[in-house]
Amino acid sequence: MKVAVRAATLNDVQICLAFEEKDEFGRKTKLDEIIVSSSIARESIFLAEQDGNAIGYASLNFLYVSKIPLLTWWYVNPESRGQGTGSLLMHSIENWLASLGFDHLLISACRELEIARHRAAGLEEIGALRLGPGEMEFFFKKSIAPANIAMTAAEAC
């Protein structure tokens, strides 16, 4: 069945919060709904849907001073993994960022597997935050493929 990606709307706040809660490192705060709603207002949350059901999710934030985009959560339901949905979400994000003139984004990672994958994929490691005992968050820089930027520029003509 075909999977389609779209930007989340304010009608999707509860769906988005449910995906955010699947991050075992995530901490719940009383601000979560406001944070998610403001990300939706910036069009920076994407949902992957199959048959009208959300099966995947990706959320971006922007660093405060530099305005650099940061992929904060990227998730596909376990039964739907390995079929390209995660890549489709990532391409949608890259296309959207390219259309806004960005040529790279940052990706943060806390889990060993994820960190190893980003290193293996050759992403540039640009720093880490020591969040607490035994908890480190690593930051990687991912260039947006020139094809995405060129394609978006051509679409704009």
The site for ligand COA (CB under 6 A) is made up of 73-76, 81-87, 111, 113-114, 117
What 3-state DSSP class applies to 41? helix
Residue 141 and residue 121 in contact, taking contact as beta carbons nearer than 8 Å: no
Closest to ligand COA by CB, 112 or 132: 112
Closest to ligand COA by CB, 96 or 140: 140
* Phi/psi at 64 (5° precision): -65, -50
Q: How far is the CB of 68 from ligand COA (least distance, A)?
A: 17
Q: How far is the CB of 74 from ligand COA (least distance, A)?
A: 4
Closest to ligand COA by CB, 84 or 146: 84
Q: How many CA atoms lie within 13 A of 150 on its CB side?
A: 3
Could you tell me how far CA 64 lies from the centroid of its own chain?
Answer: 17
Structure token pair of residue 124: 């540039």
Q: How far is the CB of 76 from ligand COA (least distance, A)?
A: 4
Q: How far is the CB of 140 from ligand COA (least distance, A)?
A: 10
